[in-house]
Amino acid sequence: MCGQLANGCSLFLHPDIISTVEFNHTGELLATGDKGGRVVIFQREPESKTEPFSQGEYNVYSTFQSHEPEFDYLKSLEIEEKINKIRWLPQQNAAHFLLSTNDKTIKLWKVSERDKRPEGYNLKDEEGRIKDISTVTSLQVPVLKPMDLMVEVSPRRVFANAHTYHVNSISVNSDYETYMSADDLRINLWHLDITDRSFNIVDIKPANMEDLTEVITAAEFHPHHCNLFVYSSSKGTLRLCDMREAALCDKHSKLFEEPEDPSARSFFSEIISSVSDVKFSHSGRYLLTRDYLTAKVWDLNMESKPLETYQVHDYLRSKLCSLYENDCIFDKFECAWNGSDSVIMTGAYNNFFRMFDRNTKRDVTLEASRESSKPRAVLKPRRVCAAGGKRRKDDISVDSLDFTKKILHTAWHPTENIIAIAATNNLYIFQDKLNSEMH
């Protein structure tokens, strides 16, 4: 199905936990954010004739501090520096731009290279000090001299004070001029050049907070139609909104909801049905969602039920009580499409991640670990044996899973079979060396 993923490499970052992973639109750059407010950008190495396996390796390109811890004196609340999301803007010139956000503040960063420096100023000496004008007896034309390549990262915009609740999503519009940010109860629309105002396009806050029944968990713009966006809720629903219909999109255009099976209802039903991530397919025709136990593919033309449902770790169904007690049941797993929308990927526990082939309906469980991260090592499929089930050799018992090792954040290269897996404070990058296409 998915071939064999080989050439894994483990890139150890700061001891702080990685909180987001994102490829840029070409896949040449990969950005990670962590709980310490740092952003680390990796750049893909060009193909080497002497080392054919070196292509696809990502090395550190730049590291910078995106957010610092803050304190809200009005509410007596600490604002964490943790990076919740990173989104790249499509490249328009030699520089790259990305948005990063913590719980409250979104920042636009410019990443550029400099390999020349000006020399021969008339009014400055070599150390940059201003000369005494009376000593200047002749004029010279400054020249650019080569220097060692330097990557400069500078903040271009700061979008602040627009969210009362924690920001969980940012998404760049296909018009490349606007983007949206979503918190638990509201979604705001921003222009990338205007920092002092945004437009509220969704507001689900009830007049009385005691009447609150659901919160927004994720939001994303359609990849091709700038007027469409989707947001998911803690009740397991998806709402597709059209900004052409009204300025305030509280009334959705389409509601995607799976009818609940009354016989399967339990104390945990509402918690495990909460959607933790939603992603449009590259084609814009489908939606991929992740809840606690499943990944679902929805057709935009069919609201009544998902087109496909994939069991990510159904063997945990009998463990929900203990997962509730240790708070793991509230973990928010992300999901990703491959470049052709034929395979989906999402994380699980024990540093496992799952891949589902939509065409063949085959699936595989793989592990991101230091043992599998040696160059050109081939990942072996893993299998979890449910409690009381028949165990084969190399099977892992559900009782021996490590719930502290969880893969919440994953990303797939936009065109190639290269994936990035964040496992606590390690970033794993795997490449499919056997198949150029994943069927």
What is the domain partition of the chain in residue ranges?
A: 1-6+15-160
User: What ranges in 341-439 are assigned the alpha helix state H?
Assistant: none
* 41-50, 176-185, 299-308, 368-377: segment of lowest average pLDDT: 368-377
Give the pLDDT of residue 9: 53
Give the pLDDT of residue 12: 46
pTM of the model: 0.87
- The residue with greater pLDDT, 56 or 41, is 41
Q: Residue 2 — very low, low, confident or very high, per pLDDT cuts 50/70/90?
A: very low
What is the maximal distance between C-alpha atoms in the chain? 93
Give the pLDDT of residue 50: 60
Among the listed residues 20, 198, 193, the one whose alpha carbon sits nearest the alpha carbon of residue 108: 193
Q: Residue 439 — very low, low, confident or very high, per pLDDT cuts 50/70/90?
A: very low
Tell which phi-psi region holds residue 27, choosing left (phi > 0), alpha (psi between -120 and 50) or beta: left
364-410: pLDDT as tens digits: 999 998 876 677 778 888 888 776 666 777 788 888 899 999 999 99
Mean of the per-residue pLDDT values of the chain: 88
* 43-47, 66-70, 315-319: segment of lowest average pLDDT: 43-47
Cα gap 198→180, rounded to integer Å: 9
Answer for the pair 22, 66: CB distance below 8 angstroms, yes or no: no
Q: Given the structure tokens 């330097």, which residue do they identify?
A: 150
Give the pLDDT of residue 381: 85
The token duo for 7 is: 């050439």
pLDDT at 148 over 80: no
Percentage of the chain with pLDDT > 70?
A: 90
Sign of CA dihedral 386, 327, 273, 309: negative
- The residue with greater pLDDT, 299 or 388, is 299
Q: Say which amino acid occupies 191.
A: H
Q: Say which amino acid occupies 328.
A: C
pLDDT at 178 over 90: yes
